Structures are given as C-alpha cells and as structure tokens.
Amino acid sequence: MNVMTIVGARPQFIKAAPLCAELTSRGHKNVFVHTGQHYDYSLSKVFFDELQIPEPDYNLEIGPLSPVKQISGMMNSLETILITEKPTCALVFGDTNSTLAASLAAMKCEIPIIHIEGGERNFTRDMKIVPATTIPEESNRVLVDHISSVIFCASKRAVENLAREAITDNVLWAGDISLDTYSLISQIPSNKSDILERLNIRSGEFALATVHRAINTDIPERLVEILKGLSKSEIPVIFPIHPRTRKVMVESNLFSRFTQSSNLRIVDPVGYFDMLALEKNARIIITDSGGVIREAFFSKVPSVIVDETTEWIDLVQTGWSRLVGADSQKICEYIHLLKKPENWEPVLGDGTARKKIVSYLENWSHK
Ligand code: UDP
C-alpha cells in the first residue's frame, strides 16, 4: 500500500507512532504529513523525539489561525500533496481541525479516507447545552465519519453509534490505538522518567490535572470554577498547562489568584514519558482530555471529567471516571473521596489495534 498519514496535534502524534512503525515494518510506503496545527517543542517535537517518529515528509506549518483559515489553509496545501503523491488512502485520527481538513481534501481528490478512532460521540450536538463553537471535536468526528471509507473504532460503543447513523460497511472494532502506544512505551525500561523527583512528589500522594478543551477555556466562568476546585485540594495538584489555557489565564490575571498559597502547581506541558509517569503515580486525575481520561483508565487510576458529557462513556459506566462538570465543590470533594472501583475490564481493547488496522487495510486495498 501507499498510505498517506496526516496528523497535526499532540494526541495524533502519540497515536500515529505505533501505526506508522507497523506500516513500515510490513513494507508499506507511508508519506507522513504534519499540518503544523501544534508546532512548538512541547506540543510537537518532543513526541517525535521520544516516540521515534520519523521526520515528516511534508510540514504545512499552518500555525495558530482561526479555525476557518486553519482548515482552508491545510486543505489548500494538502490538495497539491495528494495529487503529487497519489496515495492508496489517507489515514486520519480522531477529531481535530487537521482531521477534518485532511478528510475534506482527500474526499475532493477522490482518495479514500481511513478514520482511526471514529464513531465516538458525546451527543452534545443533540443536547444543544452549549454553543456549537465550544464543541468542535464532536462536529469534526461526525463529519469525518460520514465521508470515510473505512472506520476503526476504539470502543464497541462507537460501532453502535455509527450503526445508528447508518454507517455499517467497513467499520471495525480494533481497540484503542493509544493503548498500543501506552503499552509499548511502558515496556521499555530505559524510558523511565524522573519527574516525580524533579517535582518532589511521591507516588499516590498527588493529583494530576489537565484542562484545554474550548468549552472550559473559552467560557471564563468555567475555567475559574475548575481552578477554584483544584486550588482547594489538600494534596499537591500537578497541572501541566496547555498553551491555550495558559493564554486565557495570563489574559485574565488568573495565575497569582489560584497558585498563591494553594497546592495547585502549574508546570509547562510535559513530554510523553513524563506524562505516563505522572498518570501512573497519581492518586486521581482531573481532566477534560479524551486521551488523558483513557490513559488514567489504562493506569487503573480513577479520573474526574470536568465536563458534562464525554464520548468515553464506557469509562463512566465502569466507575473509573466521574462526570462533574465545572463545579468547584464537586471537583474538590472527588479529589479526596473518589476511590478505585474493584473491577477493570478491557473495554478499549488489548493494545494491538495497530496490527488489526494494518491487516484489515491490506485485505481492503486488494479488493
Ligand atoms: N500529554 C502529554 N503531556 C502533557 C499533556 C498531555 O504528553 O503535558 C499527552 C497525554 O498523555 C495524551 C495526549 O497528550 O496521550 C492527550 O492530548 P490532549 O489532551 O492534548 O488532547 P485530547 O486527547 O483531548 O484530544
């Protein structure tokens, strides 16, 4: 096969790493395109270095633009690349603007789209509880699924969601590709991190928090509520801050208000090795990140989701995650009270999604 993999954001570099390695090891050509949606060292290059992802063949260097300018700019550049490279298929991941732009460009160039981590839904489009602009991921997911030729799902629930939207052909439950990365990296002993020593924290005696979704950063009252909850914690809360959240906090003068005389410790975004060490050793994880919720589950650490809905509803139903919205009281309560459930079931597969995906595509491309 002659595949084109198109990525642009932190979680996509992490998910692409094992899949690209699998494609290469089976002798497939893989043209690797980075849109440049995430571009600074801590959100991009560090993952290429740590996860040994090859240098991109193309970097569109799109940078920080409005969503419309970003998507149209990416599509513009991708058209030329797709026409030049003529791949068998375009591989896209998840739900970012890069996913949507790459899919629209591939569709218009008549290149089949392969959507990895398709079918997940949080149903916010139906609920209309928040303006659509604050839930771009859900719209991106729905649009991409409806123009994809093959969809690989992380959960069985995603397969059912797609069936409800009459998408049943070439849909496969492969399991979560981020579990492949998590498991592979966890097996390499040399990839140990010393972040606990550097931050002077002890295993099981701290909380980890991440907040970056537009619903929590673009609505200032929500961010303030979340920070209020975190800053009341009796144990240290390590908060690797996303640049988008940092920008809002700087502009709204929230830094000193919440970090002075509190256990909230804001640090720069960390690399993947450090993040895994923090996740595996945290007593509890508070997050709005789809990736971090799942890695908390893989680490058997309970998590609090600072959102009203989640596409990872299986994790809520198994008791490993709690939806608390942006409620400072509940956030603070759960940091201290949330316990591990007794049972853990592999609802997101067994960490071999990369093999199932490539095997399926090999058969599909020969049809
Ligand atoms: N992550 C990281 N360092 C950080 C924060 C997150 O390596 O400081 C990783 C995390 O382990 C997970 C991924 O980034 O694999 C999640 O990305 P993000 O939260 O940006 O996006 P989402 O998953 O919500 O789409």
Instruction: Please give the Cα distance from 113 to 289 (Å, whole number).
Output: 25
Mutate to test the pocket of ligand 1, among 141, 275, 293, 309 (most ligand atoms within 8 A of CB): 275
Q: Active-site positions?
A: 212
Question: Token match 């909230």: residue?
Answer: 264
Q: What is the pLDDT of residue 190?
A: 73
Domain boundaries, the chain: 2-176+349-365, 189-337
Q: Could you identify the atom of ligand 1 that is nearest to the CA of residue 181?
A: 15
Residue 256 pLDDT: 83
**Tokens for 229?**
């909850």
pLDDT for the residue numbered 258: 87
- Between CA 120 and CA 112 the distance in angstroms is 20
Are 349 and 174 in contact, with CB atoms under 8 Å apart? yes
Q: In what helix (H) or strand (E) does residue 47 lie, and over which residues does it extend?
A: helix 45-50
305 CA distance to ligand 1 middle (Å): 14
Q: Which of 7, 10, 12, 141 to mutate to test the pocket of ligand 1 (most atoms within 8 A of CB)?
A: 10
Q: What is the pLDDT of residue 151?
A: 98
Identical fold for domains 2-176+349-365 and 189-337, yes or no, is yes
Return the CATH fold of 2-176+349-365. Answer: Rossmann fold (3.40.50)
**What is the whole-number distance in angstroms between the Cα of residue 292 and the centre of ligand 1?**
6
Q: What is the residue-level pLDDT of the chain in tens, covering all 367 positions?
A: 999 999 999 999 999 999 999 999 999 999 999 999 998 889 999 999 999 999 999 999 998 899 999 999 999 999 999 999 999 999 999 999 999 999 999 999 999 999 999 999 998 877 765 555 567 899 999 999 999 999 999 999 999 999 999 999 999 999 999 999 999 999 987 778 999 999 999 999 999 999 999 999 989 899 999 999 999 999 999 999 999 999 999 999 998 888 877 899 999 999 999 999 999 999 999 999 999 999 999 999 999 999 999 999 999 999 999 999 999 999 999 999 889 999 999 999 999 999 999 999 999 988 7
The third-level CATH classification (topology) of the domain covering 189-337 is Rossmann fold (3.40.50)
Nearest atom (ligand 1) to Cα of 137: 25
Other CB atoms within 10 A of residue 30 CB = 20
Q: N- to C-terminal Cα distance for the chain? A: 12
Predicted model pTM: 0.95
**Structure confidence at residue 128 (pLDDT):** 62
* Residue-level pLDDT at 130: 58
Q: Which residues line ligand 1 (CB under 6 A)?
A: 10-11, 14, 210, 212, 240, 269-272, 275, 289-292, 295
pLDDT for position 132: 53
Q: How many residues does the chain have?
A: 367
Predicted pLDDT of residue 198:
96
φ, ψ of residue 207 in degrees (nearest 5)? -110, 155
Distance CA 163, CA 56 (A): 35
